Chain A
Amino acid sequence: MKKILTYITLALAVGAFSVSCDFNEDPKSSASVDMMFSSEGGLQTYMYGFYEALPSRTGVYTLDSTTDYGPKNSVGGVEVGAFTDESETSWSWSNLRNINFFLEKNVNESLSEKVRNNYNGIARLFRAYFYYDKLVKYGPVPWIDWVFNSPEDERLMNTQDTRDVIIGHIIEDLDYAFNNIIESKATLNSSLVNKWTAMAFKSRICLFEAAWRKYHAGDQLDIARTGCTQFSANDLYTMAADAAKKVMDSGVYSIYTGTKYSNGRGAYRQLFIADNTVTQEVILAIVADETLCIGEQNWWYNSSTYGPHLGMSRKFAKSYLNIDGTPYNEKNEDGTFKTFKQETTGRDTRLNETIRAWDYTRKNSLGAYEATAANFTGHTLSGYQVTKWVIDDILYDDHSSNGNDEPLIRYAEMLLNYAEAKAELGTLSDGDWAQTIGTLRKRAGITGGTPQTGTLTTKPTEVEPYIASYYPGVTDPVILEIRRERAIELAYEGLRMTDLKRWACCNLWVDDPWEGIFVPALDEPLDINEDGVDDVYFTYGDIPSEFKGIGVKVGNGNSKNDVNLIAQPEGGYIMKYIKDREWPQRQYLYPIPKTVMQKNPNLKQNPGW
């Protein structure tokens, strides 16, 4: 019996021993917070996650798809009437939490302050980027620079802070980033930010806010309603100019004019189709790669089913100057319309580097370059087929296959920001003009100019009527020419809608008639690029079987969602794509979604919603 009791005691002792184990288990395949913040490798790993907030490689070249640049076959999406306070929106705050969490935890003193501050600088750069996006979309929003841990935190119910608070913090963040980010040279393929990226963003954002305050003064979106007094428009224009100037003076970046990447496509064009980023000019890029990280530029622009067939409008095409710097006239001396070949001859070279002009060639399936006109049967709605981002090779057309990198911020924008800010401040000199607009026009092959358009070294002194008709209400010839230059240089790069919003001229998107190229005749095969091969056969009626491959059935001016040909009194036709668009004033700002308002009734709805 004694023996038995011994056994039982022993057994219970084993049990008791096990009970005393603390039963704690730590994960091994994921890290603890302390681990992540205890080494520079950890900070770097976390930092790479910030980049997830940037547009994806299949998104950069689509950012300008809702603008006045040209027609597309669908106008849905967030910018138009379909958008209501009940739709899903981009009112997401997880990226901000991710950044604030980093800033809160990056305090491990075993790492040097310089190292920690470097990563804090990057984090704050991305916080500025986050708030800029919110500022553009929603106007004032709550400022948050802490991490919420409890659902009961009272600050969750905060209302919006003023635009002053937001822009003030953005500036503070970017200045901090500039002062603390260690990297000062261009990174590999400009895929990572450096201190100049912070300055470049500062220039972009201050210019946005400056213009918003100036051009929306007095309208229902007037900042006065939130009582902003800290920053005037001129303060912000000054900061925008200064920031741009810092980048210009850094010597790190310059306008690329070389042929290093060239295969005869032009220096400007190389920026968008080069396999590797032209780091001389591109400050930050989204990198694509044919095997690791594939883009879809060709597919998106050159497929009859994929992409919305974003094109260029006649109105915008006409704004490109002639090569000698004079304004373009769409008509010949006899009053007839210029043909497509005439239209795309002797112009600012950026036109021919942005669309399939008469001289456009690309590799066919055998690998040889051959003249290629716009594809009227499947791709283009206006005849001006955009090819800025597209590799000139048919091989890439029908599936994801692009490896050309995609610029997100370019040095050219700094020149334009500087010029615009100085012009708005009234302090732009001829020297400034030559250094900015002059430099860009020079690369575009422009040789001279007029008092209306300015020359390579002198700013304009008189209003050029065509560009003035573009921006009614703007009377300063310098500002007008800078806007022309900005629209052309940065076409389809994702900045246009923001520009239209800050200039308070989103109506341009609605008002553009979306006209296309001049079409000499109906019911006969046409050789648009004059290479000896028929490109298109327009008809109101049925397409004869021999022209099935190039036939386009068009309307005569009434068919919505369709290509039309409008007969001109001067003879011939102008293509026109008809689609309903609208831009009520309230759309300058997104509505705060209804569900968001329900969760926090202290938020104020944006005007008109």
Chain B
Amino acid sequence: MRFFKLCALTLSLLLMAEFGALAQTRTISGKVVDSGKAPVVGAAVIQEGTRNGNTTGVNGEFSINVPAQDVILEVSCLGYQTERVNVPASQGTIVVVLKDDSFSLTETVVVGYGTQKKVNLTGAVEQVTSEVFEGRAATNVTQMLEGAVPNLNITLADGKPGRTAAFNVRGTGSINGGSALVLIDGVEGDPSMLNPNDIETVSVLKDAAAAAIYGARAPYGVVLITTKEASQGKPQINYTANFSIEAPQNKPDVVTDGYIWAEHFYKAYSTYNEGAKPSGINKTQQFSLAWLEEYKRRHDSGNFGTIISDGSMGTTKGRYVYFPEEVDYFAALYKDIVPSMNHNISISGSDGKFDYYLSGRYHHFDGLFNSDKQTDRYNSYNLRAKMGYQALPWLKITNNLDYGFNKYYNPITYSEGSGVVYRNIADEGHPSEPLLNPDGTLTYSGVYSTADLIYGQSGINTVNEVLKNTTGFVAQWLDNTLRLKGDFTYRKTTYERTKKEARTPYAKSVDADGNSIIEYIKDPAGNKFSETNTWRRYIATNIYTEYENTFGKHYVKGMVGWNYENSNNKEVYASNTDFLTPDIENLNLTLGTDNKSTTSSWSAYQFGGAFFRFNYIFDERYLLEFNGRYDGSSRFPANHRWAFFPSVSAGWRVSQEPWWHVSPAFISNLKLRASYGSLGNANGLGNYQYKQTMSVSTSGRLLNGVKQRYTTAPGALPDDLTWETATTYDVGVDVGFFNSRLTVTADSYLRKTVNMIVAGPTVPDVFGASSPKGNYADMSTRGFEVSVAWHDDIDLGGKPLTYSVKASLHDYYSIIDKYNNANKDLVNNANQSLAGNYYEGMRIGELWGFTSNGLWQTQAEVDAAIAGAKAAGQKYYNPLMQTSKSYTIYPGDIKFEDLNGNGYIDRGKNQVGDPGDRRIIGNEDPRFLYSFNLSLDWNGIWANAFFQGVGKQDWFPSNEASMFWGQYNRPYNNLPKWHLGNYWTEDNPDAYLPRYAGYYAPFYKGTNNASTRYLQSVAYCRLKNVQLGYRLPKNWVESVGMKGVSVYFSGENLFTWSPLYKLTKDINVSNIGTSDPDLTTGSGDAYNYPMLKTYTFGINITF
């Protein structure tokens, strides 16, 4: 979507013609255009082997005086491949077509406090441009960046429209978390609040040498987001609109036939309970065999419906008794398609002194839940005003104002599980009970699940707002070799959340007159309303000066500066009960007097550092860079508050060596890089952890008539707390082949994180508090990144076809080198790191589990195993896992291998040295993450496809992952269709699943009893984005007064392949984390707010 391109190189080395003795000359006039026939302004045209040259004007035209003989002209321009053109003596005019060269050696990359030519980089830096965001319909920048940069790892918890995530660079940084520092125009910011259309580049600084200038804020990488600069010349107005329809990628395909479901419920319940009969289906429905028989009769004869109990069939007189044909809780929950749209407008220009870039964006997502009032609408607005004024020849002042606002309504259910509808559908949404009674009241199952969500009044409204203003200046003297830059930023972030939990009426029975008896779910709290208001005031200032010059073959650049930040955070929470009416939207209309609550919290930190950078380049061959930063943080005690962190990196451009005689047609560039740097970590640590603080909270007891405020002793003070330090070693290579048509960049790194602040060594319990924290743990992370890009154009039908293919691959893993766990104790949870348990030598993400090669097939096999266990003094062969209430094993149960041969299944001492029958069966960390980018551009038509994926990742569905384990979890859970016919029976001995039983401990206790047989692979490959667009011919659009118009179709997340999908597509491979983090903190996985796929139509108009 480039309409014309200005050559960025204004040929500062303006050449003086050397005519001297030449007697005869002639003039060649010509035009330089790009492959799209647009004029290239400012291209250098030089007679080869001389200093004779000129530059192209505004129309791309030039003229040059040359000797009256055959000459070779060299035409070059930043961003294009240099062309050599032979002009015979007879020829007076030429047209030169420059090929686009976005991978050229002159590419500039944004680095900390400045930019640098890519060829001169010594650190590991990767940059992407606005192309990543163009034509995309995703809600925010975070979502669009997923998978876009090798080793920038973004894991979205679910598919909620506003979902954002922390940025991780190069894998686990620290046990204490270790996110990358994200800077927007040089100042810390939240990318999810940013207008994606404003972004010019995203640069990821991966190694310590590249990040070192940010010191202790950036031990685990930096993401630099730079917004667009004002365009040159006349105002340019750009309007983009896109309209999308969205739909869930994955929707559980569960049994909706009520009878089939109820029959399996009974089977799962009674098999586990060894024949016992349930009296109810969890809370909401009464159960008896007579009812089930009647249901079968009605099912077979097609006589469905709801009756009122006369007291027979084990049901209570007057209760509704349901015989529905089918009930689909998910179909009722979701709309089939969700419309969404984006509008963006920008105006930009410059009169030479004053430049401006103004933009605004509106995004609307209409809500997935199938209700008008109770749907999850999302709206966001952005506004940016960026201006610069060249006040004096040497001084430019700038201002950059950014405003972002988003609003989301998240409907919830009143019931248990913090209102997560998926949990309640799993537990109470039985296909044997409809959502509504015949008279339209909600049923008991309905009020616990889908019906409460879409007809109820409970929900959470969140509003996020950020206002940020940066004022700055750039001064330059001595022919721009000496510069002084400074900026000051004020940012205010506010977060408002109102939560309403309103009880919804329902009925499970009728009175004597046959009218529904209205009831409410019993909860002493009743209706509850709360408001949370959080604000954060943040100021940051930078001032730095740099000197840059070239002396012959020596290039030097030095910078020194100072950075200071200060953040204040405050949160006020208030809640009350009893509503004036269920419609209220403000706390003031609550009427409760007894259960009010008000709390407030406050925190602040200061951070500052003095930094320097020194670059030296000799003869474009040897590159050297030093960085250093002296940092201070209020998070450390006075004696450790300041620390110095250095880094060094070097590069060798082998291809620039005089002895390098390899043709550029084969290898055009070869650079070797190495870096070392050591950075402290002040992020991810508590603000006051070295101080003894006493918080005050409200007692749950009534003392002297009220719930008193109370406090308790503070924890034991850490003895001597100092900085966690991450040291990174990086080696890299950049190679260009075939005139840079093929480029390869590869890096390999080792990051040693030492002195991580964790709990101290075990102390005797009489200590009375947790062991004081200290700098006790070390870890190392190893990894690599490789990107390969091919870029070329060919002639197709007389017009150039530009195409490129880019592939990248990265990987990392982390090992704990030191931790206070002398015995290497394990915990029952399979994933030790998730459970917060570490030991020396442990690999992050590793899964401990049992080995299972199959199912028990015969009673004789079972008997032999039990006899062996008895001989070993055990009551059961598998005392750890109940597959039936009495621990009896039956044919069809999962067979676990007795790896330690002691005759029964155990965890030994539950230590690495004696793990019993467990071993490491897999790893839940993603490995070999890759992406592919294909793009084509021909005659105004363009097409892009972006694939990303994970090469290897294991997953064991956790405890109560009910959407995966179905009725094996709890008998009354939903029944995934893939379970049908896929469980063991005598006639189906080769089934994947074991005999049909609920509360089945190997699944119900999930990650505590992980096993090889049911370990899932969640590797995947996804077509993340695909686009097809057309630029309308210029003459058409110019005739209606526009500069450019293009239309496009774009699709997001259209296709995903994973080994897991061979088993089930109910669950999205990239959505297997814990339950909705907005509502709960804890376990649960397998199904959440679905990831959405999106079909978008868009138009882009430039005036």
Contact = CB atoms under 8 A, between A and B. Distances in A.
A292 B707 contact: yes
Contact of B766 (A7, A93, A401): A93
B543 A11 contact: yes
A580 interface: no
Nearest to B703: A191
Given A11-B486, A93-B768, A192-B703, A4 B477 contact: yes
A42 to B, nearest CB: 8
Contacts of B875: none
B719 to A, nearest CB: 7
Nearest to B705: A188
Contacts of B766: 93, 96, 142, 144, 148, 156, 158, 600
Contact of B712 (A21, A49, A287, A401): A49
A287 B702 contact: yes
A166 interface: no
B702 A292 contact: yes
A33 B595 contact: no
Given A21-B608, A32-B693, A33-B714, A52 B699 contact: yes
Contacts of A432: none
A57 B701 contact: yes
Nearest to A549: B311
A97 B605 CA distance: 30
B757 to A, nearest CB: 15
B38 interface: no
Interface in A271-290: 286-289
A260 interface: no
B603 A27 contact: yes
A26 B691 contact: yes
Given A15-B543, A22-B638, A151-B771, A102 B699 contact: no
B632 A33 contact: no
Interface in A20-45: 21-33, 35-36, 45
A51 B703 contact: yes
A106 to B, nearest CB: 12
A32 B641 contact: no
Contacts of A51: 699, 701, 703, 710
Given A15-B543, A156-B763, A25 B606 contact: yes
A49 B702 contact: no
B764 A599 contact: yes
B693 A30 contact: yes
A97 B769 contact: yes
Nearest to A289: B702
A15 B610 contact: yes
Given A11-B543, A25-B605, A30 B638 contact: no
B694 interface: yes
Interface string B259-271: 0000000000000
Given A292-B595, A599-B763, A11 B545 contact: yes
Contact of B524 (A11, A22, A142, A401): A401
Contacts of A25: 604-606, 634, 687-688
A600 to B, nearest CB: 4
B995 to A, nearest CB: 26
A368 interface: no
Contacts of A102: 713
A566 interface: no
A73 interface: no
A543 to B, nearest CB: 12
A147 to B, nearest CB: 8
Interface string A85-108: 000000111101110111000000
B694 A293 contact: no
Given A11-B486, A29-B601, A151-B771, A49 B638 contact: no
A8 B610 CA distance: 14
A135 interface: no
Contact of B719 (A27, A93, A150, A399): A150
A463 B705 CA distance: 48
Given A11-B545, A96-B768, A156-B766, A23 B641 contact: yes
Candidate in A25, A57, A147, A191 with the most chain B CB atoms within 10 angstroms: A25
B485 to A, nearest CB: 10
A597 to B, nearest CB: 10
B473 to A, nearest CB: 10
B358 to A, nearest CB: 31
Contacts of B687: 25, 27
A560 to B, nearest CB: 13
B769 A94 contact: yes
Contacts of A188: 704-705
A29 B534 CA distance: 14
Given A7-B475, A21-B608, A293 B702 contact: yes
A294 interface: yes
B542 to A, nearest CB: 10
Interface string B156-182: 000000000000000000000000000
A102 B768 CA distance: 14
Given A30-B694, A31-B693, A292-B595, A599 B605 contact: no
Contact of B765 (A14, A36, A91): A91
B634 A23 contact: yes
Contacts of A8: 484, 545
A478 B262 CA distance: 64
A52 B712 contact: yes
B560 to A, nearest CB: 8
Nearest to A28: B602
B484 A23 contact: no
A28 B772 CA distance: 23
Interface in B672-720: 687-688, 691-696, 699-705, 707-714, 716-717, 719
A366 to B, nearest CB: 14
B638 A24 contact: yes
B767 A7 contact: no
B602 A27 contact: yes
Interface string A448-479: 00000000000000000000000000000000
A33 B691 CA distance: 10
A32 B699 contact: no
B768 A187 contact: no
A150 B760 CA distance: 11
Nearest to A151: B763
Given A25-B688, A45-B709, A599 B762 contact: yes
A45 B601 CA distance: 18
Interface in B378-396: none
B633 interface: yes
A600 B608 CA distance: 45
A229 interface: no
A12 B641 CA distance: 21
A324 interface: no
A500 B668 CA distance: 92
B695 A29 contact: yes
A181 to B, nearest CB: 15
Candidate in B610, B710, B760 with the most chain A CB atoms within 10 angstroms: B710
B439 interface: no
B761 interface: yes
Contacts of B761: 151
A196 B105 CA distance: 88
Contacts of B545: 8, 11
A19 B600 CA distance: 32
Contact of A4 (B482, B696, B708, B769): B482
20 contacts: A23-B641, A25-B605, A29-B600, A49-B711, A52-B701, A54-B701, A56-B700, A91-B765, A97-B768, A98-B768, A100-B768, A144-B768, A148-B767, A151-B761, A156-B764, A188-B704, A287-B701, A294-B524, A399-B524, A596-B764
Given A98-B712, A399-B522, 14 more contacts: A11-B484, A21-B608, A23-B634, A23-B641, A25-B687, A30-B696, A45-B696, A51-B703, A91-B765, A93-B768, A142-B766, A148-B769, A151-B767, A189-B705
- Shortest Cβ-Cβ A-B pairs, 6 listed: A97-B768, A15-B562, A101-B713, A48-B710, A287-B702, A25-B634
